[in-house]
Amino acid sequence: LCTGSYLDMGDTSHWFCQLVRSSWLQVPQWHSWHLVFQPCGRSFRLQLSKGRKSLTVEMLFGVRQGDSDIFVVSQPTEVQKGGSSTFRGPYAVAEAKFFRHIARQLPCESLHLKCLQLFTCILRGTGFSSSAWETVVTHVLTTVPLSRWHRSAFPRWLWDIMAYLDRCLQLTRLEHFVLGKERLPAEISLPPAMRGVEPPNLFEHLARDPAAHREAMQ
């Protein structure tokens, strides 16, 4: 599964696909669900369908960095420069732990997720990635007292999230939430080198491209 001394994502995905394919026939429900494997160079993706119901599952393969919540995974194809052995460090596990930590403290444990889901659906295709919306929501969660996140205040939180996004667009700056964050819940483990560094600007591309910035502001 390796190319030289690196874990090869293409070979790993193919190996896992073969493993799932051989195991699928052992599942009692295999005859009533249709299983389709979808080619993807940097992950393992499959779709289960039954009548009008369908479920798409994607798994990213990665290497854990020490005992931290950082997992190094393959770069997307469009930005790869060194083939399928090129890696980057994602923060999905750390972000998921943060959302679970917040959910335990909110009066309505899923309200912040409903806000995120709503914006992701409404603004799909507008150029804002789901990760950008997730970052905006996490920042709002840390700037507003959690006791105010009541279901009756749902419209107000939608407005606050949009207002925060508007300020970030005006400044062409949206700071990464995990990287560079000095204070995080105790259950989130980051390598020491990732704490206290300058957070990357997720809107840096807008600062460099006035035309893209004007379009985003619209």
- Summarize pLDDT for 31-51 with one digit per residue, the tens: 888 888 876 666 788 899 998
Location of structure tokens 């419209």: 155
Spans of all domains in the chain: 2-88, 92-217
* String of DSSP letters for 166-204: HHHHHHT--B-SSTT-S---TT----GGGSSSPPPBTTH
The predicted pLDDT at position 4 comes to: 66
Find the mean pLDDT for residues 171-199. Answer: 86
The predicted pLDDT at position 166 comes to: 92
| Size (the chain), residues | 218
> What's the whole-number average pLDDT of the chain?
79
The predicted pLDDT at position 83 comes to: 40
* Separation of alpha carbons 37 and 17, rounded Å: 8
Contact 112, 102 (CB under 8 A): yes
| Backbone phi and psi for residue 201, each to the nearest 5 degrees, phi listed first | -95, 110
pLDDT digits (tens, 9 = 90+) for 148-164: 777 777 788 888 888 99
The predicted pLDDT at position 42 comes to: 66
Find the mean pLDDT for residues 73-91. Answer: 50
Q: In the predicted model, is pLDDT for residue 167 greater than 90?
A: yes
Q: Which of 79-83, 93-97, 103-107, 214-218 has the lowest mean pLDDT?
A: 79-83
* Separation of alpha carbons 103 and 97, rounded Å: 10
Q: In the predicted model, is pLDDT for residue 74 greater than 50?
A: yes
The predicted pLDDT at position 170 comes to: 94
* Separation of alpha carbons 197 and 174, rounded Å: 15
* Separation of alpha carbons 198 and 183, rounded Å: 14
What are the start-end ranges of the H helices in the chain?
9-24, 92-103, 111-122, 130-143, 154-171, 204-208, 210-217
Structure tokens at 155: 């419209």
For the four alpha carbons of 171, 175, 181 and 186, in that order, the dihedral sign comes to positive
Q: In the predicted model, is pLDDT for residue 125 greater than 70?
A: no
Task: State how far Cα 154 lies from the chain centre.
Answer: 23
The predicted pLDDT at position 32 comes to: 86
pLDDT digits (tens, 9 = 90+) for 192-207: 888 778 888 999 988 9
Q: What radius of gyration do the chain's Cα atoms show?
A: 20
**What pTM was estimated for this model as a whole?**
0.70
The predicted pLDDT at position 104 comes to: 83
Q: In the predicted model, is pLDDT for residue 168 greater than 90?
A: yes
The predicted pLDDT at position 29 comes to: 78
